[in-house]
Amino acid sequence: MSKPEIIITPDKMCLLASSWRSDRLKIALVPTMGFLHEGHLSLIKKARETANRIIVSIFVNPLQFGPNEDFDSYPRNIERDIFQLSKYGVDAAFIPTIQNFYSPNFSTSVDVNDLTQGLCGTDRPGHFKGVTTVVTKLFNTCSPHVAVFGQKDFQQAMVIKRMTRDLNWNIDIKIAPTVREHDGLAMSSRNANLTTLERSNAPKLYKGLCKGQTEITNGVRSAKKIQQIIYCFIKENLTEQIEYVEVIDKETLERIDTISRPIVIAAAVRLSKTRLIDNIILSPSNLSTS
């Protein structure tokens, strides 16, 4: 067990990454907002498969939170995170402060127009612009060959892939499967903010998506019908505060009518103060999921 090098300033991160690059080492970056759980750790394991230097960034990025969102109450525990990273042989933990990452007159943003309008983009205007801007800064400071993102935030991963392609970055974007609690709830740092009752009900979000999946397996091909089934299940069993339930094309993220190609069924709900999202990827040809 060896502690990762803790790096606070972007300059120092740039220097370390460029020295690794001169030594022809392959760098993988795992961007996170901390309060690490098994989902994050699975991304580190995936990074380890292809790279010999791993950087995990921990930064609760204010740009991607709306004014009435949970930036202040977002769970944080840096000491525990660093301990976790030691167990996984991470080489560097990049933990910038807001002040040293964003200069006082910071005024630049990176925005992906396509893919960001629907789903989480509808209820969180400006969210993806905050994500793509911070990930751009992380790519520039960490110079990764590979960056690993989670399927749990599927839209985010697709937006990052598009940004990377559009801006000609030679970075391999990998998407790792969603890691779940024993009862099916997708692991998330935000789960720590659920009340006991909310936590016990929260797996019904995934249950609803699985219900939709079962209907597709049984032959239903109408996206609207699947959407309705999931929507009603979540409304009756979990919450009326449903931000969206969508059946979308896996590549374009556009709504579809008939399920005939790889799709994603995705949903977002609010449980008092906590927002939960989840999704299932489905290829109707072989009905396998990931």
Catalog residues that contact ligand AMP under the rule CB under 6 A.
32-33, 39-40, 42-43, 149-150, 152-153, 176, 178-179, 186-189
Handedness of CA 59, 63, 64, 69 (dihedral sign): positive
* Shortest distance in whole angstroms from residue 136 CB to ligand AMP: 15
Q: Residue 186 or residue 209: which is nearer to ligand AMP going by CB?
A: 186
- 3 state SS for 231-267: HHHHHHHCCCCEEEEEEEECCCCCECCECCCCEEEEE
Distance in angstroms (rounded) separating the CA atoms of residues 81 and 75 = 11
The least CB distance from residue 105 to ligand AMP, in Å, is 26
Taking the least distance from each CB to ligand AMP, the nearer of 71 and 225 is 71
User: Least distance (Å) from ligand AMP to the CB of residue 29?
Assistant: 11
Cα separation of 228 and 85, whole Å?
Answer: 42
Active site includes 40? yes
**At how many degrees (to 10) do helices 204-217 and 223-237 cross?**
150
Query: Looking at this protein, which amino acid is placed at residue 70?
Result: D
Q: Please answer whether residues 119 and 246 qualify as being in contact, where contact means their C-beta atoms are separated by less than 8 angstroms.
A: yes
> Which is nearer to ligand AMP, 57 or 143 (by Cβ)?
57
Q: Among residues 40, 127, 145, 182, which one is catalytic? A: 40
Give backbone dihedrals phi and psi of 172, rounded to 5 degrees, phi first: -85, 115
* Beta carbon nearer to ligand AMP, 176 or 229: 176
Question: Residue 85 Cβ, how far from ligand AMP at the closest point, in Å?
Answer: 13
What residues act catalytically?
A: 40
